[in-house]
Structure 1
Amino acid sequence: MRLGSLIPNFSAQTTKGPIQFYDWQGESWVVLFSHPSDFTPVCTTELGRMAVHKEHFCKRNVKLLAHSVDDLQSHVDWVNDIKSYCLDIVGDFPYPIIADSKRELAVALDMIDEEQKDDPEIAKTVRALYVIDPKHRLRLAMVYPMSTGRNVDEILRVIDSLQLTDKNPYIATPANWTPGEKVMILPHVEDNLVDKVFPKGIDRVGMPSGKNYVRTTTNY
């Protein structure tokens, strides 16, 4: 799916009951993430770490929603394994897992491997992760191969960036940025406007080209 695409208002069965996506999402952001199969080692660590970090997502007004093409009972049994493996999950498993045994949602959301998408017997979901804003728009997508697990800190970092730049349309976050560090002022913002928007000052970085496009600030 392209960035900015409207996520459809799908219905799904989950480990926490049936959902209608828009109603379930409400005014929250959503991290929707898919997995190739239940009872797989890398996926087990991923769902466990997402569960442990749930409060960090809650603080950012983000709901978690997992997806796999296995059936509901398989998901329930897998959740018990995940909780047994990740002992720092306290209480009930904190977010739903979608059961998509017919792979209809996986196909609709482009979560199926290209070489397998037309073969429902063998098709597996890729390790896709979508950050969806409260207007149901796809804001960020990460797609990992089956061999590589996700980094939860990076997911939180990019959500911080998206939410910050939504509030301040004059800035972007640089490589390796974390909250509190310098941000970049977008090149199209004229200097006279910059001084009004950032009255506490900015830093201008001289470049050999002589072009004045690298401007940073911590006053955001």
Structure 2
Amino acid sequence: MEDAPCLPIIGEAAPDFEAVTTQGPLKLSELRGKWVVLFSHPADFTPVCTTEFVALAQANPELEALNVKLIGLSIDSVHSHLAWVKNIEEKMGVKIPFPVIADLDMSVAKKFGMIHSGSSSTATVRTVFFIDPEGTMRAMIYYPLTNGRYIPEIVRLVKALQTTDRHKVSTPANWQPGEKVVVPPPKTAAEMEKRASEGYECKDWYLCFKTI
């Protein structure tokens, strides 16, 4: 039986790495101070991955405005990446603005649990990792090889995480920027009693909303 993939842990430091990319050498820890969205794709020159790269390139200006560095990865050579990026620009009219890691030895993929033997032993599943400016893993999303990601959810989750950090709140199901957020529940009886006078919109003592 093969070993299970090593998975990063939410709330712990993201594994550091150094890698070759389409934009030169990259070290994760040198990106401190920025949010990082690291995503993998199964292979270059494949249909679903191409649609994702186009969509991510189109979302990149919004992500950059949120202080996000977008980084792609697959187990292909840098020459393959460069040829594919050029092909996308020529055939789709979209320039890929973010670096793409060439992970031929799978060292980064293994650190982040991107190789799932049930799907493939030589291709990365579609993963998205959200790393905050302190280098902490904040969220992870995994998709199978067959299904492309919904890129607006990646942008929305970055905004939700940043809202949580800025205002010390949570975000409810289906939250969109500008909507009400969830106030942390009280931890003591005194806090619970005080809750009624704090001006929140409460459904009950443990579920209160506010506008930020």
TM-score by length of 2: 0.88
Find 2:175's aligned residue among 167, 173, 177. Answer: 177
> 1:85 Cα deviation (Å)?
4.2
For residues 59-104 of structure 1, what are the alpha-carbon distances to aligned partners after superposition, in whole Å with 9 as ceiling and x for unaligned?
A: 11000000000001000011012223432x3xx5311000001111
Find 1:114's aligned residue among 117, 121, 130. Answer: 117
Whichever residue aligns with residue 176 of structure 1, its letter is: N
Whichever residue aligns with residue 69 of structure 1, its letter is: I
Distance 2:124 2:47 in 1: 15
Change beyond 3 A, Cα 1:17–1:205: same
Distance 1:193 1:14 in 2: 54
Change beyond 3 A, Cα 1:35–1:191: same
Q: How many residues align?
A: 202
TM-score by length of 1: 0.85
For residues 168-215 of structure 1, what are the alpha-carbon distances to aligned partners after superposition, in whole Å with 9 as ceiling and x for unaligned?
A: 22x21111110111111122352466579xx6x211115xxxxx2121
Distance 1:35 1:104 in 2: 15
| Percent of residue pairs identical | 39
Partner in structure 2 of residue 10 of structure 1? 17
Quote the RMSD (CA, aligned, Å). Answer: 1.9
Find 1:51's aligned residue among 26, 51, 57. Answer: 57
Whichever residue aligns with residue 17 of structure 1, its letter is: G
* SS of match in other structure, 2:13: coil
User: Does 1:99 find its partner at 2:102?
Assistant: yes
Alignment of 1:1-220 (within 5 A): 1-23=8-30, 25-87=31-93, 89=94, 92-115=95-118, 122-169=121-168, 171-188=169-186, 190-191=191-192, 194=195, 201-206=199-204, 212-218=205-211, 220=212
* SS of match in other structure, 1:64: strand
Distance 2:78 2:139 in 1: 28
Which runs of 5 or more residues in structure 1 are unaligned? 207-211
Distance 1:80 1:183 in 2: 42
Distance 1:116 1:204 in 2: 45
Q: Is the 8 A contact 2:40 2:124 kept in 1?
A: yes
Change beyond 3 A, Cα 1:94–1:193: farther
Change beyond 3 A, Cα 1:61–1:101: same
* SS of match in other structure, 1:44: helix
Distance 1:192 1:41 in 2: 57
Distance 2:158 2:201 in 1: 25
> 1:11 Cα deviation (Å)?
0.8
Change beyond 3 A, Cα 1:217–1:97: same
Distance 2:57 2:194 in 1: 43
* SS of match in other structure, 1:46: helix
Which runs of 5 or more residues in structure 2 are unaligned? 1-7
